[in-house]
Amino acid sequence: MKHYKILGLDSLATWDEIKAAYRALAMKYHPDRNPGDAAAESKFKEIQTAYEVLEERKLLFTPKLDALRSKKTKVQEEQEVEPREQD
């Protein structure tokens, strides 16, 4: 949760939202854009670390989530009942 908060997001953010937030904040706090600003450099490092952690989680959990989604879809298909014809 902490990593999402650093990027200004909630934990339900999509990967595209995470990337966009990271890029915007990285540009804002990049040391080349804020020369001599120790606070900006520290914030940049914090943002970078948060993104790296979320990226690792994405790589770890995406295959598992895809498998769960696939399994859920199969169960939903099995539970669907064809409409009956009315006499």
Residue 21's Cβ-count burial label (10 Å; 0-12, 13-18, 19+) is buried
The verdict on residue 30 lying in a domain is: yes
Look at the chain and report how many structural domains it folds into: 1
Residues 45, 48, 50, 53, Cα dihedral to 10° = -120
The CATH number of the domain where 30 resides is what? 1.10.287.110
Stated pTM of the model: 0.68
pLDDT at 77 over 80: no
Is 81 within a domain?
no
Backbone angle region of 25, left / alpha / beta, with phi > 0 → left and psi within -120 to 50 → alpha? alpha
Range of the domain at 32: 2-66
47 close to 6: Cβ distance less than 8 angstroms:
yes
Q: What is the pLDDT of residue 58?
A: 84
Integer-rounded Cα radius of gyration of the chain: 21
Reported as a single tens digit per residue, the pLDDT across 22-55 is 999 999 999 999 999 999 999 999 999 999 999 9
pLDDT of the residue at 60:
74
The answer to whether the beta carbons of residues 58 and 15 sit under 8 Å apart is: yes
Residue 25 falls inside a structural domain: yes
